Structure 1
Amino acid sequence: MEQSNTKPHLVLLSAPAHLMPVIELGKRLVSCQDVKVTIFVASFVQSAAAESRMVRSALTTKLFDVIHLPPADVSNLVAPGDQGIPSLSAAVRVVRPAFQAAISALETPPTALIVHVFAIECLRIADELKIPKYVFVSTNAWFLALIMYTPVLDKEVKGEYVDKKEPFALPGCSPIRAEDLPDPMLFRTKANYHEYLKIGMEIPKADGILVNTWEELQPKTLASLRDGNLLGSVAKAPVFPIGPINSEGSAALRIELFDWLDKQPTDSVLYISFGSMGGLSLEQMTELARGLELSQQRFIWVVRPPTQKSGGGSGPKVGNASDDMSSYLPEGFISRTRDRGQVVPQWAPQVEILSHPSCGGFFTHCGWNSAIECITNGLPMIAWPLYAEQRMNATLLTEELGIAVRSQTLPSTGVVGRDEIGKMVRKIFVDDAGRQMRARVKEMKLGAETAWSKSGSSYNALAEMVKHCQKCL
């Protein structure tokens, strides 16, 4: 495609339900590298309205164009038991013709194409346009290493991964235990696994890989991805760590909850949220409520209706919308904890709460976006992984980075009791171990700020990526 002499024009494509990291990447490209950006939004029919609301709330200034592709209806393309990555891949296949037509019709020809990792089906459109192509992995480098090494494991490992006792070796990286594997790797006969494997085979075909971490946070894993004798032999394409990419929230947002937060001591409040799709059973909600009472610590708990009566949490699930919490929280819980806790139905402004001086910790499902928001605010975590790659993230946060605690029982497979929950809460707020975690994560917060300062590692990596795409033309 013929290029104009104007500034580089980068086209970004979000996968359904993964819009926010792509929006934030677009903001960094415009503000730090002075490039033109156009973002295309792929969505499901069911979530198109929600995606539109996210765009409106994210774009407080007109930094770039956002173009909505026709929402994809995959109801007849994916079996009921094959949700997850198969749904994402099917949606991207449906919108591909519309995306190809729209990108070809842009008034300013694109310099490069950047696709979210779950929209990788559209990566090769760049070949037809004769422009460089990049993949944006919105989670961490350890996950990137695993998904790219999965085609090797697929040939070496016999039988189901979950039946293996020994951890799986990733050259130059921390090994991964079977119980920490992402959901798509749990059953090799499922469509989820085959789509996941396909992504691992496609990523190395990109001209470059952007990953939502920073040099100082995961130096060992990033080094292995660049070493031709280790994972670099699989990765091949240059890796650009350009994190942390996360929302800064809105300083202007104020709700009644913040009047209560303003009155609490610094670093004293635990924020509890399991993401937009994280569900708990009624039994587990009861144990969590009792554990919070036992801990005697301040808290804000974003509560959604239970997904089932008993057993451990599983996901992704969404409970029925309801603001009436009296039917599923222990009798009298709200009144007994009113002096030190706030129970919020359905939703709360997470970014703004985590950045408030009174917030001192995060009880989290370990989605990578939430983990980054916690690190960049210098907060220790209670890791409560439920689905996707969250068990990997929990292990990274607890064992490698040392900034989180987690339960002995996996919340995705069993019920964690009130005594253990109370002890975990007190550990990060009262015990010496919690003070040590808090000191470590505050150092990481400073490291994240340095990474995005001028001449910082992530600032430079993004500049190198822009130069790289111009050289590849």
Structure 2
Amino acid sequence: MEEAIVLYPSPTIGHLISLVELSKLLLNHKSSLSIHILLPTEPYSAGKMDTYIAAISATYPSIKFHHLPTVTLSTTTATHHETFILEVLRLSKPLIREQLLSISKKYTIRGIIIDFLCTSGLSLATELNIPAYIYITSCASFLASYLYLPTLHEKTTKSFRDIKEFLDIPGLPPLRGTDMVKPFLDRDDDAYINFLDFAIQTPQAKGIIVNTFEVLESEVIKTISDGLCVPNNCTPPLFCVGPLILADGRQRTGGGSCKSSSDGGVPECLTWLDSQPSQSVVFLCFGSLGLFSKEQLKEIATGLERSGQRFLWVVRNPPADNIGVAITPQSDPDLDSLLPDGFLERTKERGLVVKLWAPQVEILNHSSTGGFVTHCGWNSTLEAVCAGVPLVAWPLYAEQRLNRVVLVEEMKLALSMNESEDGFVSADEVEKKVRGLMESEEGKLIRERAIAMKNAAKAAMDEGGSSPVALSKLVQSWKPEK
């Protein structure tokens, strides 16, 4: 029978894109493979997947998407958006089993690659005797904290949000308790309990695949591989196959209005960038879920105006619920009511505000882009690394505070946007960090390091580079034992 690999992503657009990019690499390495991607119910509407999936299906017939039957959530309220994802995946577990059995009737399944959010499916792979690999959509530094979570849990009875001293995690710089992954902060929260269970299960996998590359995180990769993050168990082999990022910068994954210009469909924001000096524009964008209050939007605007820097800023409406992220369809924001009076008029010669969405990969790779204020989502971080663009790190949710510490302290690719205890960032801080990135000596050093890391990322993905070598070892591990 034909050989197949099954991929089980979290049903969210950012995680899906990352695994689809991995699928493309696998097909380049072994074109005879049949790739099957299992798609549970979307837990919320952060970005429309249909167009993306249709485009991939049309271009890569060897990648087959399996839409699982719809499940209905038992709750509509939660502290974290990840809670909705975990609930969907729990309810989908019997559906995943049925799908794996169905695929196995026509194909020889050599392995299943499971998004770490879908670790509840690991027991199914064991039951059906399918080699299972956990896929980490974030960095190796996150993986270190994740694998070490059971050890930290045993060392304290406190929630991380209440721990004042620095945490000592192998391979990582000192972390404050509040810099841990957001769903990890309260040990009594259902999300924490789920992730703790997943972290305990992860060493049972045949391997762990990480969307990173060796030069970017060499120390922490070695620390994990040496078994220091799982002191009471064996650590599976690590396969660092990144950077896996969206190849087509114009791929639209949500609503938005970076309108096409009248001269052939080029987005207006790219045409505007064409008219700006080299490396002069600061790009501000906060992922598919990032939202700010009306008060915070006004502070950002004031800081940008005072900074005197050119800017391209993607703006959304403030959050409408207590979760504070964009898990419902977004309407066009009324910029005049959200931003300070006269701001758009006063800054029109050096700034452009875009509603909802912009082609991020293309903007980051544009010669006029000189800096990126980002939420530190790992996909966005890798896109900036591959474009050689220096960062201002402003985390909002998930593991982004941990990513900020690593980007600033270890990788030295970012300045830190510092917030008050309630998470608010002042106009003065926005002005200081935007100007610092573009004008200061520290900003210059970060820019030089960003360009060097861009070259390192390219070398990692070139033939014979560390990532293709890791991918080859991964494929070799699928061969049946004699």
TM-score normalised by L of structure 2: 0.90
C-alpha distance after superposition, 1:199-254 (max 9, x if no partner) = 11121110000011111111111111111455475452111111111112257972
Q: Is the 8 A contact 2:45 2:328 kept in 1?
A: no
The aligned runs of 1:272-421 (5 Å cut-off) are: 272-307=284-319, 314-315=324-325, 320-409=330-419, 413-421=422-430
* SS of 1:26 mapped into structure 2: helix
Residue 22 of structure 2 is matched in structure 1 by: 25
Larger deviation: 179-188 or 96-105? 96-105
C-alpha distance after superposition, 1:47-98 (max 9, x if no partner) = 498222332345562253332323543431x462354333222212222222
| Corresponding letter in the other structure for 2:98 | A
Structure 1 residue 282: Cα displacement: 1.1
Residue 87 of structure 2 is matched in structure 1 by: 90
Larger deviation: 134-143 or 400-409? 400-409
Are 1:191 and 2:190 matched, yes or no? yes
* SS of 2:336 mapped into structure 1: coil
CA distance in 2 between counterparts of 1:423 and 1:454 reads 42
Query: Which blocks of at least 5 consecutive residues in structure 1 are unaligned?
Result: none
Query: Which blocks of at least 5 consecutive residues in structure 2 are unaligned?
Result: 252-264
Structure 1 residue 441: Cα displacement: 0.9
**In structure 2, do the counterparts of structure 1 residues 229 and 343 end up closer, same or farther at CA, with 3 Å as the change threshold?**
closer
Q: Is the 8 A contact 2:23 2:35 kept in 1?
A: yes
Residue 472 of structure 2 is matched in structure 1 by: 463
45, 48, 51: which is aligned to 2:49?
51
* SS of 2:448 mapped into structure 1: helix
Residue 4 of structure 2 is matched in structure 1 by: 9
Residue 260 of structure 2 is matched in structure 1 by: none
Residue 73 of structure 2 is matched in structure 1 by: 75
Residue 433 of structure 1 is matched in structure 2 by: 442
85, 91, 98: which is aligned to 1:101?
98
**In structure 2, do the counterparts of structure 1 residues 159 and 452 end up closer, same or farther at CA, with 3 Å as the change threshold?**
same
* SS of 1:413 mapped into structure 2: coil
Larger deviation: 235-244 or 99-108? 99-108
**In structure 2, do the counterparts of structure 1 residues 304 and 316 end up closer, same or farther at CA, with 3 Å as the change threshold?**
closer
* SS of 1:270 mapped into structure 2: strand
Q: Is the 8 A contact 2:47 2:288 kept in 1?
A: no
Identity %: 34
Are 1:226 and 2:225 matched, yes or no? yes
Q: Is the 8 A contact 1:313 1:414 kept in 2?
A: no
| Corresponding letter in the other structure for 2:279 | D
* SS of 1:419 mapped into structure 2: helix
TM-score normalised by L of structure 1: 0.92
Structure 1 residue 317: Cα displacement: 5.8
CA distance in 2 between counterparts of 1:79 and 1:305 reads 21
CA distance in 2 between counterparts of 1:176 and 1:318 reads 32
Are 1:153 and 2:152 matched, yes or no? yes
* SS of 2:49 mapped into structure 1: helix
Task: Report the aligned-residue RMSD.
Answer: 2.4
* SS of 1:447 mapped into structure 2: helix
| Corresponding letter in the other structure for 1:130 | N
**In structure 2, do the counterparts of structure 1 residues 251 and 168 end up closer, same or farther at CA, with 3 Å as the change threshold?**
closer
**In structure 2, do the counterparts of structure 1 residues 302 and 179 end up closer, same or farther at CA, with 3 Å as the change threshold?**
same
CA distance in 2 between counterparts of 1:221 and 1:191 reads 29
**In structure 2, do the counterparts of structure 1 residues 290 and 148 end up closer, same or farther at CA, with 3 Å as the change threshold?**
same
Residue 65 of structure 1 is matched in structure 2 by: 63
Q: Is the 8 A contact 1:284 1:415 kept in 2?
A: yes
Larger deviation: 320-329 or 185-194? 320-329
| Corresponding letter in the other structure for 2:26 | L
Matched residues, number:
464
**In structure 2, do the counterparts of structure 1 residues 23 and 177 end up closer, same or farther at CA, with 3 Å as the change threshold?**
same
* SS of 2:288 mapped into structure 1: coil
